[in-house]
Amino acid sequence: MSKIRPSQGAPYARIMGVGGYRPTRVVPNEVILETIDSSDEWIRSRSGIATRHWANDEETVAAMSIEASGKAIADAGLTPEQIGAVVVSTVSHFHQTPAVATEIADKLGTNKAAAFDISAGCAGFGYGLTLAKGMVVEGSAEYVLVIGVERLSDLTDLEDRATAFLFGDGAGAVVVGPAKEPRIGPTVWGSEGDKSGTIKQTVSWAEYRDGTPERFPAITQEGQAVFRWAVFEMAKVAQQALDAAGISADDLDVFIPHQANMRIIDSMVKTLKLPEHVTVARDVETTGNTSAASIPLAMERLLATGEAKSGDTALVIGFGAGLVYAATVVTLP
């Protein structure tokens, strides 16, 4: 018989608060058109994007995260000292080590919270949320801060007609804590590494260091392949998340998919046969694709504008480079 004492966690977990930060600089499509041969109409018709936010020198990955996190902690009615763990999802923090989560945890004023980064691309928020839920239920942390943050403008090739208009910067954060009833459903997640070449960094840091090639690494993708995968395969994953939560599309109030592309979002809505009463996040129009930050940023905006309300049932799904994905049903804070 084991002598190890069982964990003393909460029976369930919930999202308690949400916060977001968008850089002050708003970049319209006209700026993008200075470096690619395209048009505002083409960009809008292919992606739904009209503007995006790009960070300035002071709006670092850490700085944006701290702003969003402060709002999320306040929204949850907590203080930084109560945060037991900080989980940061990002692919655009340029220091391999230490994890930016440690800097964020310190500057927020946590009491030596556990802190680490994860790399799961556009599914990163879902991965972080799942880890946070596990920590709360297992008992290793009572309150967990989950951050999705990107400065993708640093990794954008402004001469690449296929991607120059896609990416934006920003940070979104949520606080996960204990609940007496299920408020975060089972996660349906996974990876398809055989498709890893469809979204990738153009060259490795080692190749750039050695001067072959000389161009700074950027993000590139095979647009049509990604579109087909997202529309057809991710709709299946979203349905699996609904099934795992024991609800149907009719029970949903809100749908918050990764803000990759308006056409993908609209196609998923159609495939899932979402009723007209379901509010759909379309933050991509003014924020662009912010990868790991897109879901919490969209969630924060829906709540701030009143398009969604506390207690609503929401389906969230992230998908991207890897290829990786994560979907779950949550109750909005």
Catalytic residues: 122, 258, 289
* DSSP letters for 73-119: HHHTT--GGG--EEEEE-S----SSS-HHHHHHHHHT-SS-EEEEE-
Nearest Cα residue to 295 out of 316, 267, 324, 272: 316
Question: What size, in residues, is the chain?
Answer: 333
What is the Cα gyration radius of the chain? 19
Give, for 62, the enclosing helix (H) or strand (E): helix 61-75
CA 17 to CA 65: how far, in whole Å? Answer: 15
* Backbone dihedral region for residue 326 (phi beyond 0: left; psi -120 to 50: alpha; all else: beta): beta
